[in-house]
Amino acid sequence: MIELIPAIDLMDGKCVRLTQGDYDTKKRYNDDPLEVAAMFEAHGIRRLHLVDLDGVREGRIVHYRVLEKLATHTGLVIDFGGGLKSDEDLRVAFECGAQMVTGGSIAVKDPATFTSWIDRFGSGKIILGADAKEGKVAVGGWTETTDRELIPFIEEYHRKGITKVICTDIGRDGMLQGTAVELYREIRAALPGIYVIASGGVGSVEDIEKLAEAGIPAVIFGKAFYEGRIRLEELLRFT
């Protein structure tokens, strides 16, 4: 059974969504992240992907109080990402209730620090964020494409202990036109020991079904729910 992980993206403490990582496309959906998180939990969801978009821009954790509120008032297992650059950011995230953190840009730009997090906290708490644009790794909230090939990049961190990766095909993110199923199949075939979390492009329950049929272990969804294309009642069969 595929694991369902709804996303809450935060700007100014509110639930928003971007399209292809472009901050100029910001659309606000709800002023109360706790209300949204509680709704997910009430429908059998057990996980939450919480993204600090202001943290991405500022290069430090910003919305730790929202994280703390959601962790305190729900039983959701929260993975937190966005702007985590230092050991202090990590300390704050864990102390405020994150059970896992996701590192993306730091894994490219400061591999020594990211590797030290894996060594210190273990693969159960550290998730690799490997965002892709035309097969290359992208960083900085997707504003910068590197020359790193995606699968070798994931493989490098798999050898260092990473077992979970959130992979977003940037070209599909927020477009609601389907996920990069073949890309995720390629990752699974090359690295069968990696728990692939598909992200970007989910536009319907059928997209989730296709991932499940392909053997992808987990999926992050957001905009399709906020835009009313997916109703939580439809997801009960996956929970």
Q: What is the CATH number of the domain that holds 41?
A: 3.20.20.70
Clarify whether 131 is annotated catalytic: yes
Mean pLDDT of the chain: 93
The structural domain count of the chain equals 1
Q: Exactly one of 9, 52, 79, 89 is catalytic; which is it?
A: 9
The band of 142, judged by pLDDT with boundaries at 50, 70 and 90, is low
> In this structure, is residue 198 part of a structural domain?
yes
Mean pLDDT of 162-181: 86
Within 10 A of 52 (CB to CB), how many other CB atoms are there? 25
Angstrom distance (rounded) from CA 220 to CA 173: 11
Q: Is-above-0.85 flag for pTM?
A: yes
147 is an active site residue: no
What confidence category does residue 143 fall into, taking pLDDT thresholds of 50, 70 and 90? low
For residue 182, the enclosing domain spans: 3-234
Residues 189-205 pLDDT 10s: 999 999 999 999 999 99
Query: pLDDT-derived band of residue 141, with 50, 70 and 90 as boundaries?
Result: low
Assess if residue 156 is contained within a domain.
yes
| Domain contains 239 | no
- Give me the pLDDT at residue 134, please: 80
Q: Choose, from 52, 54, 79, 131, the residue flagged as catalytic.
A: 131
Q: Is residue 9 part of a domain?
A: yes
